[in-house]
Structure 1
Amino acid sequence: MPSGPPLPRRARALVVLMTALAVCGFGLVDPLNAENLSPAAAGPLATAAGTTSAAIDTAWRSGDRLLGPLLGPHGRIHLARFVGTLQVSLGAQQAAPAWQLVGDLASRYGPPERLLEALDNVASVAISHGDYDLAERLTDQLLLQGRRLVDLRAQAAAEGYLGVIARRRGQLDRAREHQESALALRRAIQDASGEAQVLMNLGTVHRDLGDFARALELQLKALDIRTRLGPLERVDLSYRNIALLYREIEDAEQAKANFEAAVRASQERHDVQSLASALGSYASFSNDQGDATRALTMARQALAIDASLGNRPYIGLEKLEIGRAQLSLGQIDEAQAALREALAIGRELRHREIIGGALLYLGRAAMRRNDTDQARRLLDESIAALREANIKAKLADAMAARQELARSAGETAIALDLASKRLALREELLGTRSGRQLAALKARYERAEADQRIQMLSLTNEVQGLRLREQALARRIGIGLVITLGLISAVLFSRYRTTRRLNRALEAKNEEISAHERALEDANAKLSTHAAELYQAAITDPLTGAYNRGHLLRQLEDHLRHALREGQELSVLLIDFDHFKRINDEHGHLFGDRVLASGVQIIRQWLEPGDLVGRYGGEEFVVVLPGKDLTVAAEIAERLRDKVASGLTPLLHAPNPLTISIGLATVQLARAANLEALLGAADVAVYRAKAQGRNRVVPYAA
């Protein structure tokens, strides 16, 4: 590179060009620093920011093309960094070209830290655009270069980005590993702000994994760090994530409070992107709560911002919530238009949540218009998409709509099948929700317990301070005795009065500590009782008292794994109440419920400790006999069949007995290597028992 006189010219040209670009960009400083960033003003502000950023981009490209030879590669790097930073500060999405140029020039001419900075910024923009393939390639390069240069900050950023990408692709275990690596690196370099961001992302991963206690703990830690660091930190994101956790466990009051805190924090930071995110999530929550008018207003405000920013995933989600609210308000034509736009965006981005939701509400709109064929097609496609994405709450809604359509069309078999699947899904959701509520309760309790410990430590410190003051007073009295015996009486009297006051203060503090300890013990007892009640409700069938299907299958799978690992036998009885439909038709469903409850009570009386009984579905029940072979299991099955028949028949006061058919399968008999094979063998056996005349025990025969 040349030296001497050209350098001042390059410096002057660079300063002039940067100044011109700054003048273009900082025209927005006043409105960005306005006292109140209202949702209504955020959309026009985002549009103005985008327009200004585009103008900066055009000016920069022209200046780089004209003055590039004069500036040289390092001058061009400084200029592109300035432009990229300015565009990011405006919240615009055009920053990628400037940072890409920084990366290209830095890879050829150096310095290497500029390459790391460029990779970091371009990867961040790619993630916000939803281009995860590009983001992953850039992040892999960032991680490789960070390791080569031993730059822990770059490695931490790369691990965090890889965790975000993996979570959005549904790879939750991989996402957790990356975020934990990022957390260790952030702590190693003592980056508190980065640590808060990683804690927030890690909390989101644990929420998706179903570990709500850990998720809430991590989000609260992130909020504490950001609150401590000051107003420039993004506490709005922490409030939003905490609100989403409370929304999942249906704690509407806490969810609403945290959503409102997220909106306020975004307005105070004058961050239009964060405000759009908070408003969009709050709109979805309002739709869930049935407040369609509020949801429509907030979704439109969020859309006005994200449309200006070009944020495609959020535009699709906000179109979805707008259509959903309009459908609730009876605005069918407007709802269909918004939902079709959301569906197009979802398919473009392969965003399964948007696709499934848009198809669901388009199907409901078609039902409102009595377009049965269109509604059937849309709902079937929605069920397939939501099942693939494992979005269970919306899947249950789609099944309910499809069941209603099938029933009105006279498709009884389809309606019954959907009702059965929806019931199983609903039981799973109820169990999951109970577990999440228990986890959140546990996290809140642990946080309250920690606060109590801090308060008790503070009280202890106060007591120690009083004791230290008492000791200091004693030392002063000793010095007074040495100085003059004449002051002994007065000093002793003063000491006596002070000691009494200190003792009274000590007694009061001790009583206060005792009161706190008693309150904590009471809270522990109540929490233990509530937790036990919640757990029992989550695993028990409310009609019969037997285990519900989910808990039964988990227990059976544990026993099966143990039997296969230890080479032990395991037997399963699949019990079906004979002619149960006829019993319901002739005597009513209440009598049928009585038959099931009485029958299960008899079965439980004749089982041994360690044996399990659970409701498999409808009138089918499963008995698990760990360690029992075919001979013993057959004897138990015959005893159960006989006792149920003799115990239930008097309920009818008629000669026709109430009986059960039992299919028996063992691990060795069925050669079962998994749960499906073992239950399938028992199902075949009970089918044969019913085919042979019912009221009998039939072992599985291959």
Structure 2
Amino acid sequence: MIRVLLTSVLLAAALLGPTSPALAGDLSLEEIDNLIKEIESGDLVEFEVIQSKVNQIAANISPDDLQRNLKLKRLQCWTFDLSKEGELDKAIDFANEQLALPSVQSDIATNADLILCRGWTLQQKGLVNEAMHDFNKSVALAYQAEEPRLIADARGVRGALLSYQGNFADALEDLITAQHLYENLNLQYWARFNLMELATSYRRFGDPATAIRYYEELEEMYRDLADEFGVIGVKAEIAMAYETMNDQEQALKMYQEVLQAWQERNDYISVATTRVNMSGSLIKLARLKEAKANLELAFPLIKPEHVGFYAYEHLFMAQILLAEGKANEALPLLEIGEESFQQIQNKRGLAELYLTKSQAYVALEEWANAFYALEIQNAIHAELDNQLQSQRTTEMRTRFDTDRIENQNKQLIEFQRLREKEMTILQENKFLQLTIIVMGIIILSIVSVFAFKQAQRSRLMERLALTDHLTQLANRRHTYHEGDALFRSAKQGQPLSVILFDADHFKKINDHFGHDIGDKVLMAMASCSGSQMRRGDLVGRIGGEEFLALLPNTTLEQAVEIAERLRSNIERTDLSKVAEGLGMSISAGVAAFDAEKDKNFSALLNRADHALYRAKHNGRNRVEKDA
């Protein structure tokens, strides 16, 4: 834990621009620049030393030295001690305050680095969606700034989060790019640090043996450099790799070495997080009393902001309680763990949690809940399997092994090995699928008594099949089906009118603001149009930006009034929260059933379509009725 916090201090990227000759203290400009380079190099690992040197820089920079002050802001953002309570929020507030300054906004590199720093802090707080948004923005700005070091930092940090979330293809692309840049820039410390993230991705990818080989190389490097924190961090990763290989005894041995190292340094948070990791191996070894004792020691120290460890400690304790026959006590812990795993989008943790939850419900003979939890677990497991078999991931992995790590001419051998591994994975998946099918049959036979609930669920699925997933309005199929039914009623003398409308210049909205904003515009249109309909009316989405309103018992003139009211309300809809300067309008065509002209519903719809065409031809943002 603290290892991560310490390295985060050193993530500030750095190429200085023009500098001012002014001085405020005893250090020369050259000495100030050397201090900055020393911090950025990664050679300093003691947190107190780093903070002291940053404070020394701050005391010696003149207020009118713009470039060095910008550099200082970047360093200061990374030097909050995130192991202390309240520092996460302080770091986020600091980044936000600096990003609001005109001097920062006008400097692309500083802007990118502070956004990266804020994203990193948000990630430590468990806000991974917000963190990923900042990482993506920082990567884009880093390329705009054309700072290789900053590009490496941004893509390295983003790649680590993508790897943690199980998105190995994109993670490897980011991490490999960062690795090449660090090596070309001769930033050996950061090349080693990034290599550890790459090795960890191999472990998560399902190749712990390769990961251990890289970890051992890194451990030897850190020993040669007398970097104690680096050695401890690598040992912790090796322990997790052995755990992935199901060599729990070896994993436990490594965890105990890591635990002792943190205890000697009085790092209580890292001691607690190591105890949580150890508990996983102890549970697999059926040493439940030892696992429970370690978790009880960790619980007072692991807080909700330590999201990953907080989730796993609750999952592990629930597994122990379940083994003790206390399924009722296990379920509340699983709910807490589920919320934390969802927060950080840890799919591997969620898969294990839902399997445990299913087992808990089985113990309580709540068969329907057990089946539901197992369904979710199977879906997550299948998604993870698909990610592991990604061809893109395989290609990136092969390129890194041959070009950057082993640097040997073994491409053909490596491709063959990967093919064999893929075949092994496919065979294992076939067995797993067969196991899931058998379990599903068993559980289905048990939950057959819950046929009523299953029928309810079927009705829900039927409703979903008739609903547009984006707007939650009736979809094309449902709308046309209802239109045909109303048309048959209209032939018996019941009035029927239709309004066909679509968004004006929707392609320009997509091109200018992006498809995400375009989707939000459609959702706003759907919400507004639905609110304008009367009881008995139906509005549905029948195309990309095209909607159809069915108005039974409505004359043509009444329908025109409704269409005009709809057009006016949509035009007045405030979209400032969606995108600055965004507005929307619609064009609408109105037609009413005419027994002489309309032989079927399509004919009525065709007349409304012609009216819509006239509305667009006559300038848009207007309503036209069938002539």
| Separation in structure 2 between the aligned mates of residue 119 and residue 271 of structure 1, nearest angstrom | 27
* 2:316 aligned with 1:352: no
Please say if 1:319 is aligned against 2:256.
no
User: 1:361 matched to which residue of 2?
Assistant: 316
Distance (whole Å) between structure 1 residues aligned to residue 461 and residue 219 of structure 2: 42
Match of 1:427 among 352, 376, 379: 379
User: How big is the shift at 1:387?
Assistant: 4.8
Residues 32-51 of structure 1 aligned to structure 2 (within 5 Å): none
Letter of the structure 1 residue corresponding to residue 365 of structure 2: T
* 1:412 Cα deviation from its structure 2 partner: 1.4
- TM-superposed CA distance for 1:320, in Å, is 0.8
The whole-number CA distance in structure 2 between the counterparts of 1:434 and 1:207 is 15
1:200–1:222 CA contact under 8 A, matched in 2? yes
What's the TM-score once normalised by structure 2's chain length?
0.54
Does residue 300 of the first structure (1) align with residue 256 of the second (2)? yes
Partner of 1:12: none
Write out per-residue CA displacement over residues 470-522 of structure 1, whole angstroms, 9 at most, x where no aligned residue.
Answer: xxxxxxxxxxxxxxxxxxxxxxxxxxxxxxxxxxxxxxxxxxxxxx9xx99x9
**Aligned counterpart in structure 2 of residue 178 of structure 1, from 127, 134, 141:** 134
Residue ranges of structure 1 left out of the alignment (5+ in a row): 1-42, 50-71, 459-515, 545-552, 572-625, 633-666, 675-702
Q: Which residue of 2 aligns with 1:284?
A: 240
Q: Alpha carbons of 1:627 and 1:322: their partners in 2 closer, same or farther (altered >3 Å)?
A: same
Aligned ranges 1:93-104 → 2 under 5 Å: 93-95=47-49, 98=52, 101-102=55-56
Matched ranges for 1:460-539 at <5 A: none
Kindly state the Cα deviation for residue 417 of structure 1 after the two structures are TM-superposed.
Answer: 0.8
Q: Which amino acid aligns with 2:378?
A: R
TM-score normalized by the length of structure 1: 0.49
1:212: which partner in 2? 168
Alignment of 1:192-231 (within 5 A): 192-207=148-163, 211-230=167-186
CA offset at residue 351 of structure 1? 1.9
Q: 1:427 to 1:150 in 2, by over 3 A?
A: closer
Determine if the alignment matches structure 1 residue 91 to structure 2 residue 45.
yes
Query: Residue type of the partner of 2:76?
Result: V
Q: How many residues get paired?
A: 434
Structure 1 pair 204/101, CA: closer, same or farther in 2 (3 Å)?
Answer: closer
Corresponding residue for residue 76 of structure 2? 122
Q: Which residue of 2 aligns with 1:133?
A: 89
Q: Which residue of 2 aligns with 1:74?
A: 25
Q: Which amino acid counterpart does residue 279 of structure 2 have in structure 1?
A: G
Distance 1:92 1:444, change over 3 A: closer
For residues 343 and 276 of structure 2, what CA distance do their matches in structure 1 show? 19
Deviations 1:94-142 (A, max 9, x none): 2476367447746886655554454333322326537321222233345
Q: 1:174 to 1:429 in 2, by over 3 A?
A: same
Asked if structure 1 preserves the Cα contact closer than 8 Å seen for 2:358 and 2:373, the reply is: no
Change (3 A) 1:271 1:147: farther
Q: What displacement does 1:425 show?
A: 2.4
User: Can you give the 5+ residue segments of structure 2 that lack an aligned partner in the other structure?
Assistant: 7-22, 439-459, 486-529, 542-627
Q: Which moved more, 1:228-237 or 1:156-165?
A: 228-237
Aligned residues of 2:351 and 2:381 also touching (Cα < 8 A)? no
Q: Are residues 101 and 336 of structure 1, via their aligned partners in 2, closer, same or farther at CA, if it must alter by over 3 Å?
A: same
How many angstroms apart in 2 are the aligned matches of 1:301 and 1:372? Answer: 33
Q: Relative to 1, partners in 2 of residues 1:570 and 1:135: Cα closer, same or farther, differing over 3 Å?
A: same
- Cα distance in 2 for partners of 1:564, 1:387 equals 25
Structure 1 residue 418 and structure 2 residue 325: aligned? no
CA contact (8 A) 2:351 2:380 kept: no
Q: Is the 8 A contact 1:193 1:226 kept in 2?
A: yes
Name the aligned partner's letter for residue 235 of structure 1: A
Q: Deviations for 1:254-278, whole angstroms, at most 9, x for unmatched residues? A: 4334443443443344433333333
Query: Which of 393, 404, 415 in structure 1 is aligned with 2:348?
Result: 393
Report the Cα distance in structure 1 between the residues aligned to 2:463 and 2:202, rounded to whole angstroms.
Answer: 32
> Does the 8 Å CA contact 2:319/2:330 hold for their aligned counterparts?
yes
- The CA deviation at 1:242 is 2.0
CA contact (8 A) 1:129 1:312 kept: no
Moved more, 105-114 or 299-308: 105-114
AA aligned opposite 2:477: L
- C-alpha distance in structure 2 between counterparts of 1:101 and 1:420, whole Å: 56
Matches within 5 A, 1:7-26: none
Give yes or no for the alignment of 1:570 onto 2:477.
yes
Tell me the residue number matched to 2:111. 155
Report the CA distance shift for 1:555/1:329 in structure 2 as closer, same or farther (over 3 A): same
Aligned-residue identity in percent: 13
1:326 Cα deviation (Å)?
A: 3.2
Q: CA deviation at 1:563?
A: 9.6
1:356 Cα deviation after fit: 2.0
Tell me the equivalent position of 2:121. Answer: 165
- CA–CA separation in structure 2 for the residues paired with 1:554 and 1:406: 24
2:396 aligned to which of 421, 444, 447: 444
- Residue 263 (structure 1) aligns with: 219
- Contact 2:474/2:539 (CA < 8 Å) preserved in 1? no
CA apart distance, 1:333: 4.0
**Post-superposition shift, 1:396?**
3.6
**Correspondence for 2:202 among 223, 246, 260:** 246
Matching of residue 274 in structure 1 with residue 230 in structure 2:
yes
Greater relative contact order (CA < 8 Å, ≥ 6 in sequence): 2
Deviation at 1:358, TM superposition (A): 0.9
Cα pair 1:343 1:354 within 8 Å, conserved: no
Q: Deviations over 1:28-77 (max 9, x none)?
A: xxxxxxxxxxxxxxx9xx9xx9xxxxxxxxxxxxxxxxxxxxxx972499
Distance 2:539 2:221 in 1: 57
> Whole-Å Cα distance in 2 between the matches of residues 628 and 563 of structure 1?
20
Partner of 2:596: none
* 1:691 matched residue in structure 2: none
- Checking the alignment, whether the CA contact within 8 Å between 2:163 and 2:204 is kept in structure 1 is no
Assess, with a 3 A threshold, how the Cα gap between structure 1 residues 96 and 134 changes in structure 2: closer, same or farther: farther
* Change in 2 beyond 3 A, CA 1:444/1:148: closer
Q: Compute the displacement of 1:202 (Å).
A: 2.5
In 2: Cα distance, 1:337 partner to 1:205 partner: 31
CA distance in 2, matches of 1:559, 1:259: 53
Matches of 1:102 and 1:555 in 2, distance apart?
67
Structure 2 distance, partners of 1:564, 1:97, is: 51
Q: Secondary structure at the match of 1:424?
A: helix
The structural deviation recorded for 1:316 is 3.8
Higher helix share: 1
Letter in 1 for 2:314: L
Instruction: Describe how 1:629-668 pairs up with structure 2 within 5 A.
Output: none
Q: 1:542-553 maps to which residues of 2 (within 5 A)?
A: none
Instruction: Tell me the amino acid that sits aligned with residue 363 of structure 1.
Output: A
Look up the equivalent residue of 1:286 and give its one-letter code: Y
